[in-house]
Amino acid sequence: MISWFHIPPAQRPLFSLFVPALLVLALCCFCSLLFGAGGLSLQASFQTLLGNGSADDQFTVFHLRANRTLVGLFVGLTLGIAGALMQAVARNPLAEPGLLGVSAGSSFAVAITLVLGASTATLTVGIAQLGALIGCICVLSVARMQGQHNDPIRLVLAGAALSSLLLAVTSLLLLFDQRAADEIRFWVTGSVAGRDTNTLFSLLPSMLIAGLCILYAAKPLASLALGERVAIGLGHKPQRIRAVVIVAVALLVGGATAIAGPVAFIGLVVPFAARALVGPDIRRTLWLCLPLGPIIVIAADVVSRLVAQPAEMPLGVLTAIIGAPVLLLIVRSRRMPTL
């Protein structure tokens, strides 16, 4: 009898992985409601979930923890999908929104808006998405100069340079505006705690557009993975595919950054894990990214509440601790330099 682990990833039934992943996601959501920093004990949380808690306990579980669980679901899903799309269109396993300056572009746009007088409460999601779009176009344009579009080192260097430049200018702007610095201090660390879930509703139109873009681009992207000539021979238009994917990535990353700040490495770790489980086909990878992204973000958020009690560790710090070893593993992989 052949063991499941001996089946090549590309031949494993997607259903046999997707359903267990959904069950793990449900378990993570349950733990997110059950565990947390503060005075509410595990037993009291469980009793509250059964409907027996006080009004304060119910507020903690069904409002504070439920809200951050919803935000974690959204952030994990969007960043995981965006990472898979960006890696597919760049044909580079290191193409991650946080590493390549897309999140930094979104943060820079938010900082500019704050300096001009806006507040985080009135901040429009479109600003963060526009910043992500400009950052995405800049880094991919630089990396594709002189026809070296598949060079992973060029891509990472371009992304690192753009991120450093934008972060430096953002810091400089905030030095001259104390009010903007106070507004952005908590947001810039990357966190799903205390976020306004009403922002999620304002994101629905742009997420619908992103979803349509993904539906349009998924099959052509799979052809593009075989080479540009093959894709053209199959009737696809690579330039149009890339433009559609860039728009989708900008909408997804900008939306996630607007609600939770820049959360690094999720777009790197999630597609890496999905490809390891189901192979390099982008259509199978995207399906598995749907549950894997929220699993990693919510699990990291639960751990961030417990490791530094009674305080909390910023989510962005924990995802960086998880993502850095994965980045080193990919760099050492024999599959470099391209997907």
Backbone angles phi and psi of 44, in degrees to 5:
-65, -35
91, 225 in Cβ contact below 8 A? yes
Other C-beta atoms within 10 Å of 100: how many? 30
Rounded distance, CA 94 to CA 152, Å? 7
**What radius of gyration do the chain's Cα atoms show?**
20
Alpha helices of the chain — where are they, by DSSP H? Answer: 14-34, 42-49, 55-59, 66-90, 102-115, 125-143, 152-175, 178-184, 198-224, 228-233, 238-260, 266-278, 282-306, 315-332
**What's the distance, Cα to Cα, between the start and end of the chain in Å?**
32
pLDDT in tens, the chain (339 residues): 556 667 777 777 888 889 999 999 999 999 999 987 667 788 888 888 888 878 888 888 888 889 889 999 999 999 999 999 988 887 778 777 777 777 788 778 888 887 777 766 666 678 888 888 888 787 777 666 555 555 666 777 777 787 888 878 877 777 777 766 766 666 666 677 777 777 788 888 889 999 999 999 888 888 888 877 888 888 888 888 888 988 898 889 888 888 887 887 888 889 988 988 888 888 899 999 999 999 999 999 898 888 877 777 777 778 878 777 777 777 676 555 455
Residues 6 or more apart whose CB falls under 8 angstroms from that of 231 comprise: 220, 223, 224, 238, 241
* pTM reported for the whole predicted model: 0.86
Query: Mind listing the pLDDT tens digit for each residue in 95-154?
Result: 777 777 777 887 788 888 877 777 666 666 788 888 888 887 877 776 665 555 556 667
Residues 222-227: contacts with CB under 8 Å, at least 24 apart: 222/281, 222/282, 222/283, 224/88, 224/89, 224/91, 225/88, 225/91, 225/280, 225/281, 225/282, 225/339
67-80 pLDDT, tens per residue? 889 999 999 999 99
Residues 6+ apart with CB under 8 A from 147: none
User: d(Cα 252, Cα 258) in Å, to the nearest integer?
Assistant: 10
Average pLDDT, the chain: 81
Residue tagged 């390891």 (tokens): 276
Cis peptide before 93 (omega within 30 of 0): no
CA dist., res. 263 & res. 161, Å (int): 18
Give the list of residues 6+ apart from residue 198 with CB closer than 8 angstroms, or none: none
- Cα 63 to Cα 41, 69, 112, 146, 217: the distances in Å are 17, 10, 32, 52, 37
